[in-house]
Amino acid sequence: MNLSNNSNYLKIGDKAPNFSAIGVYEQEFMQIELSNYLGKYVILIFYPLDFTFVCPTELTAFSDMYYEFQELNTEVLGISVDSEYCHLAWSQIDRDAGGVGLLKYSLISDLNKRISSSYNVLTESGKSLRALFIIDPQGIIQHSVINNLDVGRSVNEAIRVLKAIQYVQSNPDEVCPANWQPGEPTINSNPLKAKDYFRSI
């Protein structure tokens, strides 16, 4: 799938583009600015459109796990190219009728498509790709993943990666192996000490 703006991809380690936009939270409109969350981790969930099929399953799954994100000093923000009025209408529909109900985090309107464009996730057809970014408390992108529009993301994997990022940022001499979970062994980044891990597996 071609992107409408593919000349300047964001990279891990880049500063997350700031934005200010209208969001919907608990049936109310509010101005949301990314820079206001400095000091916390932020998960940005870009999704194609309201009133679709895969999107509500993702957004409600992240909402169901919201308190776990809070315990990890993390805010969650959903973003699509729909208007704030569309977000409001969708949140007023129960889950069993295809809506998202009252989410525990804000849905942001990117009607002018500037946010999606700045994160390089805007398609030529004008929708946001199914992208997720993890931004650290300094406003630096630490993780990104983009799925095919027809494939939903894993909330559990987002939490696992978030915990791994937080761990290595707190323990700069250690790295996390494949499928690492909190409490499991890590690898010392010193080549000699790293052998201890590989001897144990």
20-170 to CATH, choices 3.30.1360.200, 3.40.50.300, 3.40.30.10, 3.30.420.40: 3.40.30.10
Q: What stretch(es) of the chain map to CATH 3.40.30.10?
A: 20-170
The three state secondary structure string of 152-184 is CCCHHHHHHHHHHHHHHHHCCCEECCCCCCCCC
Say whether pLDDT at 155 is over 80. Answer: yes
Name the band, by pLDDT with cuts 50, 70 and 90, for residue 4: very low
CB 124 within 8 A of CB 130: no
82-113: pLDDT as tens digits: 999 999 999 999 999 989 999 999 999 999 99
8: CB partners within 8 A, 6+ apart: 120
Q: What is the mean pLDDT of the chain?
A: 94
Check if 176 is active-site. Answer: no
E strand map for 28-158: 28-33, 41-46, 74-80, 106-109, 130-135, 141-147
Q: Which of 24, 55, 132, 161 is catalytic?
A: 55
Q: Distance between CA atoms of 22 and 51, rounded to whole angstroms?
A: 19
Give this prediction's pTM: 0.93
